[in-house]
Each structure stands twice: as structure tokens, then as C-alpha cells.
Amino acid sequence: MLAVEMPEDHYKLLPWLCAAITRANPDSRAIVELDGCRFKRMFVALGASLNSFIMGSRNILFVDGAHLSGMYKGLLLGAVGLDADNHLSDVAYAICVVRE
């Protein structure tokens, strides 16, 4: 019989995932905040995206968010920069849980 995994089991892996991101991608930032086994927030900015924004983008940063619906309420926040060719490039994203 297969064991059914609960979402809480997956949240326990997020610190390992953040450590793997920062280890595999130099200059990256990956932070997760848990309250016991409950997810609170996570921030990820890959080093290549950060360096691209610092070295080759205009000094304009666009930040936007979207509400997440369904069983797990929250916000998905994103930051993008504008490069020299007027194209958007990802800089960072964050996921925040909204508690009632």
C-alpha cells in the first residue's frame, strides 16, 4: 500500500531546497521561514538574475503581486527589471501565506 504524503511533509524539505539553491547558484539568495511544520514565507533571487539586473538593466524595478486561491491562501510576489532592449527580466519572487 502506498503512503499518502501530507503537505506538511513537503514543507519540511524547503530549508534543504533553499540550501541547494544557494549552493548550486553562486550569489543566490533563498530564504524560507517556517512556523514549526507550517509554511510562512519564502524568498528566492537567483544569482544570475541579480547580476543581470545589477550589470545590464536599467535602474527600474517593477514589483507586483497576485492572490493565491484554493486550499492554501497567500500571495505570490514578483520583482522584474527592465533591460536595455526594453524586455522584462526576472529578479526575485516571494510566496507569503495569509492566515485568517
User: pLDDT tens digits, residue range 64-87?
Assistant: 999 998 877 899 999 999 988 888
Give the E-state strand segments of the chain in sequence order. Answer: 29-35, 38-45, 57-68, 74-83, 88-97
Are the C-beta atoms of residues 76 and 66 closer than 8 Å to each other? yes
b/e map 67-90, b = 16+ CB within 10 Å = eeeeeeebeebebbbbeeeeeeeb
pTM above 0.85, yes or no: no
User: What residues does 43 pair with on adjacent strands?
Assistant: 31, 94
pLDDT recorded at residue 100: 56
Are the C-beta atoms of residues 98 and 73 closer than 8 Å to each other? yes
